[in-house]
Amino acid sequence: MAPRKSGRSSTAKILPFPSRPSRKDERRVLRLSPEYSGTCLLYAHHVLSRDKLFAIKILCWARLANGDTVALVPWLNGVSRCIDLDNPDSGQAMGYYDPHSEARFDQPPIQHVAALDALSEVLPPSSKGIAGAVVQEIPDNIGSHAALLIEQQQEFALEPVVSWRLDELGNMDAMVADMDRATQTPVLSRDDCLYPVREHPGFRYFFQYHIANQIKAGGVMAARAISQLIKT
């Protein structure tokens, strides 16, 4: 989560996303459009700093049941909509950031809105609401890792997330590979060796690739992450 200075910029002023209360079923995720250009979600986290904004890579864009289009990010041990991050002490969404152009904006990119419009027409939402019925599977393009405690060996492992599955109830599962069952590499989306990481009893958190690499390399960041995992 690389820090971004929140000082004045030549780009437009970034305002917090508007909070619009709605019923839970209206916020259900219906369709996904993978983020492929590295766009980040900017957020404030007062526990970490009151002077900076932080950036986290966006996993994908989602069409909600109420028609809104929002960004989704792996957050702690789940996936969060940007509109759910509304507490500055634990994470408050403050806009979007393109690291290539350094542009900041507060509306979903038009290409993802168009893609979700098209998906909604081609794959209209089902009214059956069958738990576990997969409606979409997208690859993980941001290097997400799942941290797993392996109690038998008294150690932990970082497993790369291969893909994410969306079911009819709007739930998303991170899929990791059981390499003992893998018959070919690289392991791709929909491979038979993939399983939902939530089924692993030692699953704790999601980390993006730069944090996962720091943990693998050791050092202060690794010590802090391991300490947090053990305490959970």
**At residue 12, does pLDDT exceed 50?**
no
Q: What confidence score (pLDDT) does residue 26 get?
A: 80
> Which of 104-108, 138-142, 217-221 shows the lowest mean pLDDT across its residues?
217-221
> What one-letter code names the amino acid at 81?
R
Q: What confidence score (pLDDT) does residue 153 get?
A: 58
Task: Between 103 and 132, name the one with better pLDDT.
Answer: 103
Closest-CA residue to 193 (of 205, 207, 179): 179
**At residue 6, does pLDDT exceed 90?**
no
Task: For 19-75, write each residue's pLDDT tens digit.
Answer: 554 566 788 999 999 999 999 999 999 999 999 999 999 999 999 999 999 999 999
Task: For 150-208, write each residue's pLDDT tens digit.
Answer: 876 567 888 999 999 999 899 999 999 999 999 999 999 999 999 999 999 999 999 98
Q: What angle do CA 110, 71, 46 make, to 5 degrees?
A: 130
Give the distance between the most distant pair of CA atoms in the chain: 54
Answer left, alpha or beta for residue 37, where phi above 0 means left and psi between -120 and 50 means alpha: alpha
Cα–Cα distances (Å) from 89 to 48, 97, 126, in that order, read 8, 21, 38
